[in-house]
Amino acid sequence: MDRKLFEAAQAGNVQSLHQLLGENPLILHISALTSAGNPVHVASAYGHVDFVKEIINLRPDMAQEVNRDGFSPTHMASSIGHTEVVRELLKVDRKLCQLQGPEAKTPLHCAAIKGRSHAVAEMLSACPECVEDVTIQHDTALHLAIKNSQYGVIAIIVDWIREMKKEDIFNMRDEQGNTVLHLATLKKQPQASPILYLIPYSIIFNQVIELLLGHQANASQGLEVNAINHSGVTAFDLLLISPSEAGDREIEEILRSAGATGMRDDNQTSVDNLAVSSAETNPLRTKNDMTEFFKFKKGRDSPGETRSSLLVVAALVATTTFQFCVNPPGGTWQDNSTPSSKAHIAGESIWGSTNTIAFCLYMFFNSLGFKLPLQMINILTTKFPLQFELLGNEFHL
């Protein structure tokens, strides 16, 4: 992008824009050819609504272009919270709030994650159907708002869904099969939050669960309170599996009044089995689950990440054992022995000359510990570029 055009967009200077267009009427077309971003991206990020309006009047197609990271101007404006810019962009095409970026995230998804309530309301007003769009992980905007503890956005979306009579959205599932009620029940667990850290999570998500259930005493609002996720548990099961004490009784009463039951009520599934299944869905709920979370799980952890971790561990073990070979415990003699002292030579291990058997055992196991990680590195780097150079360094050691 032309430097002067970038500076004008950054400052939101419409007068400079017209001056540049007077000097070169094709400057916007040239910018589109020479760079991945355009002036609308820059002006949208800075919230310069007049500049955005002027550009899209001249080149409406620029509102649909994505930058090198895959984001459109509407993505940028909505995630930052520039509602007026979002409104002007949607005047070009209301479908811009459904434009997919990385991981199939739309501008509505970005606004929901960041808690931009006004931008969310603007996009829902312009394009009601965007509330049903899902990411590559099958998350709706409501899923993302709950996962990111954005209570203001949750309230707006829930009210909008009820007003539009699209309650089936409440039952849409993410890639773990969780409905929004599953997520709200999970999120009542104590955890860190950069925004709501002054308010107990149990209180916040008591309100979320009440909001989702509405005033239904007979589960007539379209929300499936007994939906089962991929781990085979309901929202009520999640409450019983990992109690957080604070607020649990209130949540239990709310769910019970809406007709919620657990799998245990139906077929006496053991709590232990349910806890294992639920741990896969939300592995950081309790301190004991932390250990399970850091264990290797086939299907969850990629082979590439596992290989990298093993290489790091092998390198650390090889380095440590090599260091013990170079500098054995007790140090080395700094001079040769005298006739009046025990025979030794400079550089010889002090421990080796005083307790030969113990030192030999130590060196045997230490050498074994040095050889094993070298062999592991050899296996893990098979068919890697520069493998022969790595092997050469191993043999040199």
Domain boundary, last residue among 233, 259, 286: 286
- Per the listing, tokens 């931009």 go with 116
pLDDT of residue 44: 92
Q: Which residue has the higher pLDDT, 208 or 301?
A: 208
Output the CA–CA distances (angstroms, integers) from residue 320 to 8, 313, 379, in the order listed.
57, 11, 20
Model confidence at 53: pLDDT above 90: yes
Model confidence at 188: pLDDT above 80: no
Query: Does 6 map to a domain?
Result: yes
Q: How many domains does the chain have?
A: 3
Model confidence at 318: pLDDT above 90: no
Beta carbons within 8 Å of 149's beta carbon, 6+ residues apart: 187, 193, 195, 196, 201, 204
- Per the listing, tokens 């409104």 go with 87
Same domain for 129 and 3, yes or no, is yes
pTM of the full structure: 0.62
Query: Does 154 map to a domain?
Result: no
CATH number of the domain where residue 26 is located = 1.25.40.20
Residue-wise pLDDT for 229-241, tens only, equals 888 888 888 777 7
At 389, the pLDDT band (50, 70, 90 cuts) reads low
Mean pLDDT confidence for 278-282 = 47
At 374, the pLDDT band (50, 70, 90 cuts) reads confident
Q: How many other CB atoms sit within 10 Å of the CB of residue 75? A: 29
Same domain for 266 and 328, yes or no, is no
Same domain for 364 and 280, yes or no, is no
Query: Does 316 map to a domain?
Result: yes
Same domain for 217 and 315, yes or no, is no
Same domain for 210 and 330, yes or no, is no
Closest C-alpha to 90, from 107, 109, 102, 69: 107
Output the CA–CA distances (angstroms, integers) from residue 261 to 207, 275, 291, 367, in the order listed.
20, 16, 30, 60
Model confidence at 352: pLDDT above 80: no
Domain boundary, last residue among 133, 152, 176: 133
Same domain for 275 and 322, yes or no, is no
pLDDT of residue 112: 95
> For a pLDDT cut of 70, what percent of the chain falls above it?
74
Q: Which residue has the higher pLDDT, 217 or 373?
A: 373
Same domain for 87 and 117, yes or no, is yes
Query: Does 110 map to a domain?
Result: yes
Beta carbons within 8 Å of 46's beta carbon, 6+ residues apart: 9, 10, 12
Query: Does 185 map to a domain?
Result: yes
* CA 25 to chain CA centroid, nearest Å: 44
Q: Which residue has the higher pLDDT, 81 or 293?
A: 81
Contact criterion met (CB below 8 Å) for 124 and 154: no
pLDDT of residue 247: 52
Query: Does 295 map to a domain?
Result: no
Domain boundary, last residue among 88, 116, 133: 133
Residue-wise pLDDT for 293-302, tens only, equals 556 665 555 6
Query: Does 333 map to a domain?
Result: yes
At 96, the pLDDT band (50, 70, 90 cuts) reads very high
- Per the listing, tokens 């799980």 go with 297
Question: 3-state DSSP: the chain helix, strand, coil percent, rounded to 5?
Answer: 65, 0, 35
Question: Which of 175-184, 237-246, 341-350 is least confident?
Answer: 237-246
* CA 246 to chain CA centroid, nearest Å: 27
At 358, the pLDDT band (50, 70, 90 cuts) reads confident
pLDDT of residue 298: 58
Mean pLDDT across the chain: 77
CATH number of the domain where residue 250 is located = 1.25.40
Same domain for 281 and 182, yes or no, is yes
Query: Does 144 map to a domain?
Result: no
pLDDT of residue 263: 60
Structural domain span for residue 95: 1-133
Mean pLDDT confidence for 85-89 = 94
Same domain for 100 and 181, yes or no, is no
Same domain for 315 and 254, yes or no, is no
Helices (H) and strands (E) in the chain, counts: 22, 0
Q: Which residue has the higher pLDDT, 390 or 362?
A: 362
Model confidence at 268: pLDDT above 50: no
Same domain for 202 and 264, yes or no, is yes
At 86, the pLDDT band (50, 70, 90 cuts) reads very high
Same domain for 180 and 282, yes or no, is yes
pLDDT of residue 109: 96
